[in-house]
Chains A and B, each alone.
Chain A
Amino acid sequence: MSDVVVDKVLDLRGLTCPMPLLKTKKELKGMKAGQVLEVWGSDEGSKKDIPDFVNKKKHEFISLEDVAEGYTKYLIRA
């Protein structure tokens, strides 16, 4: 996914349910259609919550990747 241009990065590491989903939703609302949001999160539940939410709300879930530093990167197109 190195060809995806990220417009905004949201660092949600250390936040727990429901904050990662709440902040992701709020951020996406402020973005233009087509822009890409990269979310960094450490909450295990977000791995299901964020893709489920994004897919239901007609955004595009691009990818999810566990990185070596111990957190997860999500790429979402608004």
Chain B
Amino acid sequence: MDDTTFLGFAKEDIKNAYSTVFENTWPLWLGGVFMGILVLMVFLWNFPWGVTGGYRNWIEWLGYVVKIKGEAPSLSPLLHPVSAGNAGIIIGAIGSALMSRQFKWQVASGREYLKGIIGGTLMGTGVAMTGGCLGGAFYSGIGVFSLGGFTMVIGVMIGAYLGLRLVLWEVESLPPSKQRIAKEKKGGFDWKKIHPAMGVAVFALAIAIMYVYSYFDEAKIGGLCLLGVIMGLVMHRSRFCFVRVFRCPLMTGDAEMVKTACLSLTIYALGSAVIKWSYLQPDTMGVYHPVGLGTIGGGILFGTGMILLGSCASSALWRMGEGNTKIIVGLFAFSIANSVARTFFLEWDLYAYFGPSIFIPEVLSWHVTLPLYALFFVGWALLANWNEESEKFVIF
């Protein structure tokens, strides 16, 4: 370093930090640790983390605005807690993608869009049964000691297997789909040059939003949005995606995301035990995932759909933020299917058949639950590691 003044030193330091955060992909486990901490903050701040309610709020508002739906949802998207968190994740991912120069409109082939619509529809219907997506029912479900989180694992595993079989059939039986890429414009202004500056502006805007909410006495919603922004950054930089927990052991044998999920869930569950056991929040808060048909049947639909879409509902937020158009199309289908299926299940009183929600420590006590959790995570990680070597569960 030539410049040994404080300013010269600080400039070099900032350059190195920028490179670490935005030019190198973060290790997945680091994303898992950050996510575990962030979801605990969301839990303490308001309620266990989830994303589906936000999508439903948006589509139901859209339905109301275009006069398909007669009644407006009770909360505006600006004041809906899950909607605010989701918006935060998208904003954080856009900022992160811009600062790392990875923002790019990604167009797909026609068949990929069709798969996105079918996948989104299956996922949206499945989520209406499970009571949440992989973020809200699997991750938060297990994190807040809801037995439905575990039964969803069974359903999603089966669904992931079926989904992979479907795409393998596509590869082996159908002619390749017509390839498309977004053309880079020749000449004109090179927007990529100013992407990092635009990213800084996006993050500055996100902080300003928090102050606006606080000014209007809605700091709780503003806080959820800000936590979402940090989640968007973390998920984008580490490419954190729950689909990989279920897909990779069957497709390539890769165990990295399973181990990351186990690590992240250990942090989530430990923090959640502290919060619940000490009644910082009600102990049954967030426990609403039906054990039985709801999480297993819904999980199968969701698992099949997520392979076709190539994303779960939470990672779709950051993939949208980096310009993935297939995901945007798929999410429209997801939101519509979720709203329609939920209305149908409510009108026909079908939720009664989906199974009860069970708070594990209420049945087993905290003293038994916590060691069982530790055994489960260690066992799952060991099984995934063994499968990575032996490829016992890899299907092709």
Interface residues of A (CB under 8 A from B): 11-19, 21-23, 25-26, 29, 42-45, 48, 52-53, 56-57, 68-71
Contact = CB atoms under 8 A, between A and B. Distances in A.
Contacts of B109: 14-15
Given A16-B324, A22-B251, A42 B181 contact: yes
Contacts of B107: 14
B310 A14 contact: no
A57 B389 CA distance: 10
9 contacts: A16-B112, A19-B167, A19-B171, A21-B251, A25-B251, A42-B182, A44-B102, A44-B324, A69-B183
A45 B179 contact: no
B104 interface: yes
Interface string B290-313: 000000000000000001001100
B117 to A, nearest CB: 13
B112 A14 contact: yes
Contacts, number: 82
A23 B396 CA distance: 11
Q: Which of A19, A25, A68 has the largest count of B CB atoms less than 10 A from its CB?
A: A19
B209 interface: no
Contacts of B164: 22
B310 A25 contact: no
Given A44-B104, A52-B254, A22 B171 contact: yes
B316 to A, nearest CB: 11
Given A25-B252, A42-B106, A44-B322, A14 B247 contact: no
Nearest to B185: A70
A25 B256 CA distance: 17
Given A26-B171, A43-B106, A14 B180 contact: yes
A23 B239 CA distance: 20
B310 A53 contact: no
B184 interface: yes
B177 interface: yes
A12 B179 contact: yes
Given A18-B247, A26-B171, A68 B184 contact: yes
Contact of B396 (A26, A43, A56): A26
B167 A14 contact: no
Interface in B311-333: 311, 322, 324, 326-327
Contacts of B180: 13-14
Interface in B160-206: 164, 167-168, 171, 176-184
Contacts of A29: 396
B341 interface: no
A56 B102 CA distance: 25
A10 to B, nearest CB: 10
Contacts of A22: 164, 167-168, 171, 251
B311 A44 contact: no
A17 B179 contact: no
B114 interface: no
Closest 10 CB pairs of A and B: A14-B180, A17-B310, A70-B184, A14-B109, A13-B179, A14-B179, A13-B181, A42-B181, A16-B310, A14-B108
A11 B183 CA distance: 16
B25 interface: yes
B181 A70 contact: yes
Contact of B239 (A18, A45, A53): A45
A70 B184 CA distance: 6
B167 A18 contact: yes
Contacts of B256: 52
A49 B183 CA distance: 23
Contacts of A14: 107-109, 112, 177-181
B275 to A, nearest CB: 34
Nearest to A41: B181
Given A16-B108, A44-B102, A70 B254 contact: no
Contacts of A52: 254, 256
A17 B181 contact: no
A56 B104 CA distance: 28
A61 B121 CA distance: 37
B180 to A, nearest CB: 4
A13 B176 CA distance: 11
Nearest to A42: B181
